[in-house]
Amino acid sequence: SEWWALKQLWDKGLLKRGYKVLPYSPKTGCTYSNRDVSEGYRLVTDLTCYVRFPLSKNQDLGVGDKMANMLVWTSTPWTLPGNVLLAVNK
């Protein structure tokens, strides 16, 4: 379970107690990145790209014999060389 894993990390001294203030949006229910905050919430033009990832033919994707692909949009294209998987909610 998650609690067991957290206890293991705590027992090994890998977790530390402390505080970090993060900007939080009650509207979206998530925190803002430091980059968002440093830009002063102004509209900026960033480099983005679309990438096509071919999916395995071994999966039953309901497309028959056709090759299926996943089209992904990212605002951090410099991380693409490190992408090793896509997480998709059923």
- Mean pLDDT, the chain, rounded, equals 79
Block residue for tokens 């919430």: 41
pLDDT for 65: 64
pLDDT tens, position by position, 49-88: 898 888 766 666 666 666 778 888 888 888 888 877 777 7
Annotate 30-74 with DSSP letters as a single string.
EEPPHHHHHTTT-------EEEEEEPPTTS--SSTTSPPEEEEEE
What is the average pLDDT across 14-37? 80
Q: What is the pTM of this model?
A: 0.41
Burial of 90 per CB tally in 10 Å (0-12, 13-18, 19+): exposed
Beta bridge partners of 49: 74
Q: Which helix (H) or strand (E) holds 25?
A: strand 24-25
